[in-house]
Structure 1
Amino acid sequence: MQPRFLFSEVGSGLRRNISMALSVVLVTMVSMFLLGLGLLAQRQADTMKGYWYDRIQVSIYLCTANSRQPNCEDTAATNEQRDAIQRQLEALPEVKQVFYESEQDAFDRFREQFRNSPISGNVQLGDIPQSLRVQLDDPTKFQVVTDQFEGAPGVAAVQDQEKVLSKFFAIINYITIFAVILAGLMAACAALLMATTIRQAAFIRRREIGIMRLVGASNWTIRMPFIAEMVIVSAAGVGLAVGLLVALTQYVFNEGFIKLALSQAFIGTSDVWVIAPWMFAGVLSIAVMTSLVTLRRYLRV
């Protein structure tokens, strides 16, 4: 098939059926925007879980030379104290696993989590103390760790906020599920609208199709303009949805929430570009499959 012929047929088809094409673009945009919101909400939850990981788990922060906690007395924890605490933790039956995080590891993790926040440039190596992060078999057994290690030599603080944060993350997960389900319904509407658009386009161009049959045009030569039209309008819809998501993260998160809550980790436009290829791939697959099924049924070639 000559590219010039294909472009000519696609342009002619879109001009003849412009209202339906715009409808497909708008429905696709709305469905993908909702899906993107759901995916971004989940990425926001994951980002904040990473930030709050040391509070969801039990974290034993060790003293540094600049620690102001009364138990530290401006003296950094020694390697012997750290090793002794770790051995005691691993000996507890309530403890599942113990992770050691150095000051360098804590600094790198902070920079990654706050990569989209201006606060990342205000923290230097050593500002975040080394810690032992404890995973419990039962998070409700936090008091066992607190009673034994709070005030121990070399320990600055023991933290855990799992009870409070678990409810917050559960709400985000429910919002994500709702957004994805709603996006799925909108995607189904978009697929049905694509099928209706193809049927209408085939009816409008029935004379041209008959002539192409008479001159021996192949099945793919007749079908490709319809498929290309759906791919173009679907891609346009996804492109608009991605643009809205970029604007949302840029002006609502990067220039809005971050200024109000500098101590929180938020998603950024880079997260939109991570999910964008999957959104394009999913919608284009729906467009191609819907076109093939509809043409097979309503276009007898």
Structure 2
Amino acid sequence: MRHTLRETWSGLTRNAAMTVAVVVTIWVSLTLFGLGLLINKQVDLLKDRWYDQIEISVFLCVKDSTSGNCEPGQDVTQSQKDAIKKALEANPEVEKVMFESKEEAYRDFQETYKDSPIADDLTVDQMQESYRIKLKDPEQYQGVVTEAMGLPGVQNVQDMHTVLDRIFAGLNALKWGTVAMSVALLVAAWVQISNTIRIAAFARRRELGIMRLVGASNTYIMLPFLLESLVAGVLGAVFASATLLGLHHLVITRNLEVSMQALRWLERGDVLVVVGWVALTAIALSIVPTLIATKRYLKV
């Protein structure tokens, strides 16, 4: 064992530049890999928070309506309101239908714009009645929107999913872009580890030849190379884990959780789970290419 540890240390110091390059590549690639996993988790948290609270608003016709399924100069009739409510409640995707009167809409308007000059621009009569729809599955909304837009007496349908879907599409693009870059760097780390093993094997070719002649086992010959790559992988994983934990503390704990408390943010436990995956990936990245490279270059 002493010989193995001595050979491992000798290999790390002899190829110090290559070792540092491997560690840095693994560090950056695992950090990006971890960020991709964290972004994916954060997107799910935001979806759970925002989608569960989203309602579809079906605004009913008023006299000055110029669009939708409205009759010029006519408010929505009671029979139309009853038909709209009945159709919405019959939709299997709808969990609950709530009616908002002009008075309720006016109170909400006054509360929202109480500190703005426009608070006195509208009267109760100018407000629109509406139905607020809560869905069983917030992501299954298109059928309800399509049906509501075709009902007589409906002036407009407001659906925040169209805005949120663009936001989440951007976040998903960021997530997959981060994962793609991390995969590219992981491949680069794989190649670097293989090249490091090849260079180390060439530098020790005489020693390895003597060890084969005296009957050293394959495991005995490969073990120093495995330990070298494992040390590089562990160092890269430690730096990547520290980076992820540091980013979580600086970006989320000290900033986002303070400035936007209404939203759900990643907790430290979520980061620790990702750190576990980073560690497993680092070990696999260290061992697998080393085993392949030693079998190829050392011919043991």
Fold in common (TM above 0.5): yes
Equivalent positions of 1:240-279 (< 5 A) are 240-279=239-278
Aligned pairs (5 A) from 1:98-113:
98=95
Corresponding letter in the other structure for 2:268: T
1:67 aligned residue: none
* Distance in 1 between residues matched to 2:25 and 2:40, nearest whole Å: 23
Measure the CA separation in 2 of the matches of 1:16 and 1:205.
Answer: 11
Which of residues 137, 142, 155 is equivalent to 1:139?
A: 142
What SS class does the counterpart of residue 136 from structure 2 fall into?
strand
Shift of 1:37: 1.4
User: How many percent identity over aligned positions?
Assistant: 32
Q: Which string of whole-angstrom CA distances, capped at 9 and with x for unpartnered residues, describes residues 200-228 of structure 1?
A: 11122222212211211011110111012
8 A contact 2:36–2:175 mirrored in 1: yes
Paired with 1:33 and 1:140, the residues of 2 have a C-alpha distance of 41
Question: Is contact 1:139–1:162 with CA below 8 Å preserved after alignment?
Answer: no
Change in 2 beyond 3 A, CA 1:172/1:296? same
Aligned equivalents of 1:260, 1:98: Cα separation in 2: 33
Partner of residue 64, structure 2: none
Structure 1 unaligned blocks of 5 or more:
60-87, 100-130, 149-158
Which amino acid in the other structure matches residue 258 of structure 2? K
Could you give the per-residue CA deviations for residues 255-300 of structure 1, whole angstroms, max 9, x where no partner exists?
A: 0122222222211332211112222222321221211111111112
CA offsets, 1:44-67, max 9 Å, x none? 1011111112234659xxxxxxxx
Tell me the amino acid that sits aligned with residue 92 of structure 1: A
SS in structure 2 at match of 1:52 = helix
CA distance in 2 between partners of 1:246 and 1:9 (Å): 34
Alignment of 1:204-215 (within 5 A): 204-215=203-214
Q: 2:65 matched to which residue of 1?
A: none
**Residue aligning to 1:286:** 285
1:166 is matched with 165
User: Cα 1:132–1:89, aligned 2, differ >3 Å: closer, same or farther?
Assistant: farther
Residues in 2 aligned to 1:258 and 1:28: alpha-carbon distance in whole angstroms: 30
CA 1:89–1:261 in 2, change beyond 3 Å: closer, same or farther? farther
- From the superposition, tell whether residues 274 and 97 of structure 1 become closer, same or farther in structure 2 (CA, over 3 Å): farther
**Cα offset for 1:98?**
3.5
**2:56 & 2:202 partners in 1: Cα distance?**
67
- The match for 1:73 is none
Q: Measured at CA, do residues 19 and 55 of structure 1 come closer, stay the same or move farther in structure 2, by a change above 3 Å?
A: same
TM-score, length basis structure 1: 0.69
How do 1:17-28 and structure 2 match up within 5 A?
17-28=15-26
Deviations 1:56-79 (A, max 9, x none): 4659xxxxxxxxxxxxxxxxxxxx
AA aligned to 1:12 is S
1:101-250 map, 5 Å: 133-135=135-137, 138-139=141-142, 141-142=144-145, 161-250=160-249
Q: Secondary structure at the match of 1:135?
A: coil
What is the root-mean-square deviation of aligned Cα atoms in Å?
3.1
User: Quick one: which amino acid aligns to residue 260 of structure 2?
Assistant: A
Number of aligned residue pairs: give it: 233
Distance 1:39 1:237 in 2: 17
Q: TM-score w.r.t. structure 2 length?
A: 0.69
For structure 2, the 5+ residue unaligned runs are 58-85, 97-132, 152-157
The residue that corresponds to 1:44 in the other structure is: 42
Given that residues 194 and 287 in structure 1 are in contact (C-alpha distance below 8 angstroms), is that contact kept between their aligned partners in structure 2?
yes
Residue deviations 1:137-163, cap 9 Å, x none?
A: 5436248779x9xxxxxxxxxx96212
Alignment partners' CA distance in 1, 2:227 and 2:200? 13
